[in-house]
Amino acid sequence: MFSKRPFLVEIVAAAVLLAVPFVLPYLDAAPNTVNRILVWGLFGIGFDILFGYTGLLSFGQSAFYGTGGFVAAYLLTRAGFPHVVLALLIGMVVAAIVGYLIGLLALRRTGIYFAMITVAIAEIFFFVEFNPLSEWTGGENGLPGVPTPSFDLGFTTLKFTSGWSLYPFLALAYFIGIVIALRIVRSPVGAILTAIRENPLRAAAVGHNVQAYKLTAFVIAAAYAGFAGGLLGVLQGFMPPDAFMFDTSGQLIMQTAIGGRGTLFGPLVGAAVWLFLQDFLQATLKLGAAWKLVLGLVFVLLVCFLRQGIIGGIKDLFALTTGAGKATEPPEQAAPVIASAAPVAPMKPRHAVLGDYGGPLLQAKGLTKRYGGVVANEGIDFTVHRGELRGIIGPNGAGKTTFFRMLTCEVPPTSGSIVFEGRDITGRSIVDVCQLGLTKSYQVNQLFNKLTVRENLTIAALAQLRGKFRLDAFATLRNIGGLEEQVEHTLQLVNLGARPDTPVSQLAYGEKRRLEIGLALASSPSLLLLDEPLAGMSPRERVETVRLLKSIAQGRTMIIIDHDMDALFELAERITVLQEGRVLVEGTPDEIKGNALVQDAYLGGVHEVELEA
């Protein structure tokens, strides 16, 4: 995310692209094959942003490839438009607009349903190109006579015709494409796309408009596809109808998987393997159509042994030989969680900034949630004042988590209302509510598992600093004012300052729980809800985490659910007891400890002695 050598990749890419026409002819590489690889590579850059970075597997990229290609080809042939590059850009814009409209529809669903919609879209576009629009697209004949680009410089004319002469034009297009893509993936938008791939629920819960960012990725992929489609026409001298075929989408997916998804260069490498293998097996070994059998075997082997594709495999090998990414021992195995931590100044919660509202911070009235016949919460009245630390206890199934889910608008209440900082937030989205300053940590960790601790916290902090959606796809994370300070501060608050660059998967359980709290804290909420922060911890970790929670609570309003009553009695000023979805009783820890209703109804008298202790 924070790239240490920002231009290294661009420089290496430029060097390789420059070297290709001097090296590959000696290896008998056909220039036309090299040019086709570049077109597939460019097509794949956008797809990789969508699939590799955002986690959205689309089978419909041929629709945008064909759209951009045919628009550009139509302009350059039938419409007599003279400017090749401008025609390619117009094709790209049209493909992006079509992508936007299709994205609005397809992204209403997730997972397999999203994929199925994209399959249907690819088929519909293929049909439309062949039938109703055949007069414009040439139907099965395509559009012949697509010109190649030439640039009149006054003193000379630069002509890019075919083979190695066309290569510089395609290589430049690819290079510009990769530079733009690298910029996007290193921007805040790119960071959020990766977070969406890892955990869309949490990306929304920390305040990002997931749907808008997914649509952004979809449009970017469509734009790349559209431009590459136009280049296909230029490369072949005619626009072939098979650009629209479903096979095109399938080949793109396989090439990306072979090369390595989430790498940007993966589709180019995958295309090189595919096309060189095709040339070698068909032309040299004369295997004819059987070459696909060999390709299939190569694909299976690669997927089995290099799950992240060729580039992923190279990266793993590099990490193995250099020791990069090696798991480091969790510090708490040697030292207590916070015993050595220096005191950290409390982070400024939002109310300190906004603060002109004087009423209760949160007020829920008659909050009820029914799941069919199950009543999870019924008629809950609940008020929390600014600066309060409230505890919520209740037996399993009492409705505590459901109550939190309603407060953060993760689920809508069946009836009742929620007023936060004087605003009625009932029925608002989880994204909006987080943006207003109300967020929670989860009972079961909801982290961005493939990202590092710092990257996790960055995602959360970005939501507060940039709002729920901003299209700063060319900004760099370093230029987001206050980001590094906020992340650093949160790292210290949850005592993960020694492990900022450790991937989540390598953290110890207690560290993951602290990061879970850190994700909620990083957006500096006015009201922080913690759902069982002590769940699954050892007794020693509990004691240390209680101390951590005490330090976090300074100057903050918090509601904590936990089964550890001793801990809550120590932490909270007031306790609300839920039973069977209703508020049983509310009071100070001493009142709750001595309350007969709690002892009889909630604990059935079993823990009477324990409560009094």
Residues contributing to the site for ligand ATP (CB under 6 A): 371, 374, 376, 394, 396-402, 443
Least distance (Å) between residue 263 CB and ligand ATP: 38
Q: How far apart are CA 220 and CA 222, in angstroms?
A: 5
Least distance (Å) between residue 531 CB and ligand ATP: 8
Least distance (Å) between residue 558 CB and ligand ATP: 17
Q: How far apart are CA 106 and CA 50, in angstroms?
A: 13
In this complex, which beta carbon is closest to ligand ATP, that of residue 77 or of residue 401? 401
Answer yes or no: are the C-beta atoms of 225 and 68 closer than 8 Å: yes
Least distance (Å) between residue 394 CB and ligand ATP: 5
Least distance (Å) between residue 252 CB and ligand ATP: 38
In this complex, which beta carbon is closest to ligand ATP, that of residue 388 or of residue 531? 531
Q: Say how far residue 226 (Cα) sits from the centre of its chain.
A: 24
Answer yes or no: are the C-beta atoms of 319 and 306 closer than 8 Å: no
Residue 148: Cβ-neighbour burial (10 angstroms; 0-12, 13-18, 19+) = middle
Answer yes or no: are the C-beta atoms of 247 and 126 closer than 8 Å: no
Least distance (Å) between residue 437 CB and ligand ATP: 23
In this complex, which beta carbon is closest to ligand ATP, that of residue 318 or of residue 371? 371
In this complex, which beta carbon is closest to ligand ATP, that of residue 510 or of residue 581? 581
Pairing of strands 238-239, 143-144: antiparallel
Nearest to 406 by CA among 385, 443, 435, 380: 380
Answer yes or no: are the C-beta atoms of 362 and 384 closer than 8 Å: yes
Least distance (Å) between residue 585 CB and ligand ATP: 16
In this complex, which beta carbon is closest to ligand ATP, that of residue 402 or of residue 456? 402
In this complex, which beta carbon is closest to ligand ATP, that of residue 256 or of residue 402? 402
Neighbours of 192 (CB within 10 A): 28
In this complex, which beta carbon is closest to ligand ATP, that of residue 85 or of residue 411? 411
Please spell the DSSP secondary structure of 294-342, one letter per residue: HHHHHHHHHHHH-TTHHHHHHHHHHHHHH-TTPPPPPGGGTS-SSTTPP
Q: Number of C-alpha atoms within 13 angstroms, CB side, residue 84?
A: 22
In this complex, which beta carbon is closest to ligand ATP, that of residue 181 or of residue 529? 529
In this complex, which beta carbon is closest to ligand ATP, that of residue 21 or of residue 397? 397
Q: How far apart are CA 290 and CA 459, in angstroms?
A: 48
In this complex, which beta carbon is closest to ligand ATP, that of residue 13 or of residue 537? 537
Q: How far apart are CA 259 and CA 262, in angstroms?
A: 10
Q: State the SS3 of 91-122.
A: HHHHHHHHHHHHHHHHCCCCHHHHHHHHHHHH
Least distance (Å) between residue 604 CB and ligand ATP: 16
Least distance (Å) between residue 532 CB and ligand ATP: 7
In this complex, which beta carbon is closest to ligand ATP, that of residue 401 or of residue 557? 401
Task: Using CA atoms of 505, 507, 511, 515 in order, give the dihedral in degrees to the nearest 10.
Answer: -40
Least distance (Å) between residue 606 CB and ligand ATP: 17
Least distance (Å) between residue 534 CB and ligand ATP: 12
Neighbours of 358 (CB within 10 A): 7
- The CA–CA distances, whole Å, from 557 to 259, 420, 517, 542 equal 49, 12, 14, 21
